[in-house]
């Protein structure tokens, strides 16, 4: 019996991706070699990299005037990469949680940072919507989805400042107008692939406007010029990302997955709101379609509930310590049927203990 994997990341990927990846660890495309022992300069792996980048562009409908590169280091290195490449004198940040806070800290090493809005005083349970951005700011940075607090920007900031977004936890989950952004970055390990690769989408002409002396591995220009091959890339993570993108495209791409993700979110949030034993922790209008955070209204039922979802082969729904309670992370590859199993357990708790 397959486990219902609600892990907040690294997270569930499609079963067919695991099967093909497993085979390629033994013998990649009948080459007689494991994907793990192939040179990154081999024609076989160069084809993987090319296909991965082409699929990113196709699936996200990225315009011609953007470059796509795969790097390493996760969003945490991305916080520094964003600032090194774009912060000349002044940057603006919206603080919506743990990751925004870390991004701000890294940017402050390089220049003036204006936190134009923050939901920190309410434990980041909402997305700020009112703020002013300095006319002379180099960019406005925000985190599109906040895994820990279960909030998500439903619409993006309207500003004349260049937009930079850490989209780690909801990229590929919904339609995004790429042209609104100067740069988007995202750790792979939610909707794209396994840990170890990080995606950057960079508007042509947006680089080269700072005086920072940028370490070469944090400098987007040479990484773009070398087509993600400045040094040895994270071969396997990029390969599995490519397989996941093939799965996404084959099934109908972003319009298909956006609809499915909305169905899953509707299913869980309807139950949270209907069931007297549960309450959501995030502001309703800002609820994340990726991470549903909820609490028991009666903590005394914790042991019963925990046993019930464990028995149902549900894993990974313990909430982050910053919020407590539960967090159902419903990334792209989580089937609707897994959400139904959780909803059924919630109903059963109410029926037997409510």
The residues assigned a catalytic role are: 99, 166, 190
Among 77, 221, 229, 267, binds a copy of itself (CB under 8 A): 77
Q: Is the dihedral of CA 253, 256, 258, 264 positive or negative?
A: negative
Among 61, 232, 251, 270, binds a copy of itself (CB under 8 A): 232
Among 12, 69, 165, 323, binds a copy of itself (CB under 8 A): 12
Give yes or no for a cis peptide into 277 (omega within 30° of 0).
Answer: no
Among 134, 159, 210, 315, binds a copy of itself (CB under 8 A): 315
Contacting residues for 303 by C-beta, under 8 A, at least 6 apart: none
Is residue 30 within the footprint of a copy of itself (CB under 8 A)? no
Which tokens in the block code for residue 201?
């989408």
Window contacting a copy of itself (CB under 8 A); options: 119-127, 200-208, 230-238, 346-354: 230-238
Q: Which of residues 106-145 bind a copy of itself (CB under 8 A)?
A: 106, 109
Q: Which is nearer to a copy of itself, 77 or 178 (CB)?
A: 77
Distance CA 66, CA 56 (A): 11
Least distance between a copy of itself and beta carbon 192 (Å) = 12
Among 80, 137, 143, 332, binds a copy of itself (CB under 8 A): 80
Is residue 211 within the footprint of a copy of itself (CB under 8 A)? no
Least distance between a copy of itself and beta carbon 110 (Å) = 8
Q: Which is nearer to a copy of itself, 167 or 301 (CB)?
A: 167
Is residue 183 within the footprint of a copy of itself (CB under 8 A)? no
Q: Which is nearer to a copy of itself, 76 or 159 (CB)?
A: 76
CB atoms near residue 273 (< 10 Å):
12
Among 189, 228, 288, 289, binds a copy of itself (CB under 8 A): 189
**Measuring CA to CA, how many Å separate 150 from each of 16, 117, 153, 281, 296?**
28, 18, 11, 8, 16
Q: Is the dihedral of CA 181, 182, 187, 193 positive or negative?
A: positive
Is residue 32 within the footprint of a copy of itself (CB under 8 A)? yes
Is residue 98 within the footprint of a copy of itself (CB under 8 A)? no
Residues that bind a copy of itself (CB under 8 A): 1-3, 5, 7-13, 18-19, 21-23, 25-26, 31-34, 36-40, 42, 72-77, 79-80, 84, 102, 105-106, 109, 187, 189, 194-197, 213, 215-218, 230-237, 240, 313, 315-316
């Amino acid at each position: 019996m397959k486990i219902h994997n609600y892990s907040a990341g690294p997270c569930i990927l499609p079963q067919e991706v695991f099967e093909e990846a497993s085979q390629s660890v033994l013998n990649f495309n009948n080459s007689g070699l494991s994907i793990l022992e192939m040179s990154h300069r081999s024609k076989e792996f160069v084809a993987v990299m090319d296909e991965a980048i082409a699929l990113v562009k196709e699936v996200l409908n990225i315009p011609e005037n953007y470059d796509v590169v795969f790097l390493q280091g996760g969003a945490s290195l991305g916080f520094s990469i964003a600032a090194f490449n774009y912060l000349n004198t002044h940057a603006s940040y919206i603080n919506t949680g743990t990751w925004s806070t870390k991004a701000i800290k890294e940017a402050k090493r390089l220049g003036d940072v204006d936190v134009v809005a923050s939901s920190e005083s309410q434990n980041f349970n909402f997305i700020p919507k009112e703020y002013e951005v300095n006319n002379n700011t180099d960019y406005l940075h925000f985190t599109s989805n906040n895994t820990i607090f279960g909030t998500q920007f439903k619409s993006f900031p309207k500003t004349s400042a260049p937009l930079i977004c850490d989209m780690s936890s909801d990229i590929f989950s919904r339609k995004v107008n790429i042209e609104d952004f100067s740069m988007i970055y995202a750790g792979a390990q939610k909707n794209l692939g396994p840990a170890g690769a990080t995606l950057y989408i960079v508007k042509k002409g947006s680089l080269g406007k700072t005086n920072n002396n940028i370490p070469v591995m944090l400098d987007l220009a040479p990484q773009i010029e070398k087509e993600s091959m400045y040094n040895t890339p994270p071969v396997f993570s990029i390969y599995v990302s490519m397989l996941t993108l093939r799965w996404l495209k084959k099934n109908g791409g972003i319009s298909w997955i956006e609809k499915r993700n909305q169905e899953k979110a509707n299913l869980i949030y309807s139950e949270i709101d209907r069931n007297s034993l549960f309450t959501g922790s995030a502001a309703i209008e800002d609820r994340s379609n990726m991470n549903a955070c909820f609490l028991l209204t009666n903590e005394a039922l914790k042991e019963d509930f925990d046993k019930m979802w464990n028995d149902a082969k549900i894993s990974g729904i313990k909430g982050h310590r910053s919020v407590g309670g539960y967090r159902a992370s419903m990334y792209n590859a989580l089937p609707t049927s897994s959400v139904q199993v959780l909803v059924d357990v919630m109903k059963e708790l109410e029926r037997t203990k409510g």
